[in-house]
Amino acid sequence: MIHDLAEADAPRAAEYDLVIVGSGPAGMTVARELADSGLRIAVLESGRRTPTALGDRLRRVKSDGIRIKDYSRERVFGGASTTWAGLASPLDAIDFETRPFLAESGWPIAREELVPFWAAAARYRFASLERFATGLSELRESGEWRPTWRALDEKVFLAAAEPQNFAREHGAIFERAGVDLFLDATVLELRSARGAVERARIRSSRGGESELAARAFVLATGGLENARLLLVSRDLCERGLGNEHDQVGRWLMNHPKNYHGVVALARPIVELPYFFGALHEGFAGYAGLRFSEGVQRERELLNSYVRFEPLFPWSDSRGVESLVALAKRSKLVMRRVRGKGKAETVSLRDYSETGDDSDLQNERKTASGWLGLGWNVVADAPKVSRYAYHRVFGRARPKVRAVRLRNFMEMEPDPENRVLLGSERDEYGQPETVVRHRPTARDKSSLIALHAALREELAANGFGKLDSSLERAEPWPIDQDASHHLGTTRMGRDPRRSVVDAELKLHAVPNVWLAGGSVFPTSGSANPTFTITALSIRLAEHLRAKLGAKRAEVRA
């Protein structure tokens, strides 16, 4: 059942077997996987069915270094899945390895252990591992340029043509007996006694406070909030729950992104869907370029990547961006485009059509905001008209004479990149969240090396000449938040250098598990939600066995 605490007090309930804090991809996946388990489950969501002004205020953070975008986290039913564009890719083999040149690397689980859970994530409308490996190969063969690489590898990224919304697609589980959702239920802290967490203290927008008891808890509130919630829960440890060794909030990673570098093509290109991006068989996708894993090991480089974005006469037009944003809101328009993409390849004609949405597309829209998009379309009518002509009439294909690089960095684990509690308080009296993170020297040198290698290999393949001054750029230009907040409650075998174990349980607390990107020991360069979902399926399988067995013991 769904209970909205903004409308009524929480009903009195018996103790739950499991309380899940957060209803985004991680929390909803755990809840859905366990909905048929017979366990009594409650999901606590700080937001409501739609965004609220209060929810927006409660999500604020203070940034030191890379600025955290407001819309990178959402306090709403479904969490960040209500705004994301769906881009995904699996982590690479090297991401799981212990890399001698990185002080803190290596996962306590092998990549092979995640393979069946990535496969299971396909039921959440992610592409299969096979499709990531070979699903765009025919697009590569059909392109006008088929390069061979010496030091580089290609990596495929795919987004479902209609991005997943975990609340809309899986919310029916709350119609089942024993599976409850509490909206407007902001968890202030976890209350503990006798060495374990016993209750979650909750506040609603009506001002009332209550407590929900459970045998076990899963925190699934994102890479920043997972750490913050542990830091404010101090019954068992003065530094914060699970923070006996001062590891909670440290090792924060992101995928800093931005444009830098332009390739002047040796000859104009009309179609290159594999590298420029295309809608193909129900997925929007493209191939990026990274160093091969052998080169990464040999040269001690990180796993960053770049993608090509073709420059059209209308590129960077706010009018075109606005038109695309409006089109994505139109079910009729998108149904027509997606249906065409299943039958044939639809080449992307602007970066705003891809799964890496812009600030203009992602920012919260009021009625006046949507009207503003319409005005942008009218104000930039010449470029919009030219774009629309080429988009609608596929036979009129524009020639591309230059492409720019969209850069995505891997950040090495650094204990000084972290989440902290600030001195100011939010409306619920909670300490503000302070986020401190910036690229290290190794982060930067790895991307600089990738540009240098790309310059040589593009010339050798007759593609064109790369103009990049990244090695001299000051300030560092790859500085945008990718909304991938990872590593703040990292998993590991050593409690002195990690927060959770290989089963995602707090080392020092017997009944608290964490889900989401906060448990990643390293970040790679892949968008993390595919792996977050796989890890959440794995966690649910573990909890089914552990909590189900204990429940059986109690009944016996």
- Tens of pLDDT along 477-506? 999 999 999 999 999 999 999 999 999 999
Q: Which amino acid is located at 106 in the chain?
A: G
Output the DSSP codes for 519-533: G-S---SS-SHHHHH
| Winning range, highest mean pLDDT, from 262-266, 309-313, 358-362 | 262-266
Half-sphere exposure (CA, 13 Å, Cβ side) for 120? 20
Average pLDDT over residues 223-230: 98
Asked if the model's pLDDT at residue 232 lies above 60, the reply is yes
37 CB-side CA count, 13 A: 25
What are the two backbone dihedrals, phi and then psi, of residue 219, each rounded to the nearest 5 degrees?
Answer: -95, 125
Q: Hey, CA dihedral for 253, 259, 261, 264, is it positive or negative?
A: positive
What's the pLDDT at 423?
Answer: 95
List, in sequence order, every residue forming a beta bridge with 258; answer none if it has no partner. Answer: 407
The CATH superfamily of 1-126+164-253+484-556 is FAD/NAD(P)-binding domain (3.50.50.60)
Domain boundaries, the chain: 1-126+164-253+484-556, 135-161+257-408+440-477
Q: How far apart are the first and last CA of the chain?
A: 28
Residue 300 CB neighbour total at 10 angstroms: 15
Instruction: Render pLDDT for 516-534 as a digit per residue (tens, 0 to 9).
Output: 999 999 999 999 999 999 9
If you average pLDDT over every residue of the chain, what do you get? Answer: 91
Question: Tokens 């007996």 correspond to what residue?
Answer: 177
- What does the pLDDT average to over 136-165? 93
What's the pLDDT score for residue 350?
73
Tell whether the model's pLDDT for residue 337 goes beyond 80. no
Q: Give exposure, 378-410, as e/b (b: 16+ Cβ within 10 Å).
A: eebeebbebbbebbeeeeeebebbbbbbbbbbb
Rounded Cα distance between 275 and 266, Å, is 16
Q: Which amino acid is at 159?
A: A
- Residue 432: what pLDDT? 94
Phi, psi of 322 (to 5 degrees): -65, -40
Pair 147, 136: CB distance under 8 Å = no
Question: Could you give the CA distance from residue 210 to residue 403 in angstroms, rounded to a whole number?
Answer: 56
Tell me the one-letter amino acid at 333.
V
Strands 209-219 and 16-21: parallel
pLDDT band with cut points at 50, 70 and 90 for residue 324:
confident
Nearest to 189 by CA among 381, 14, 430: 430
Strands 283-291 and 196-203: unpaired
Q: What pLDDT does 259 receive?
A: 96
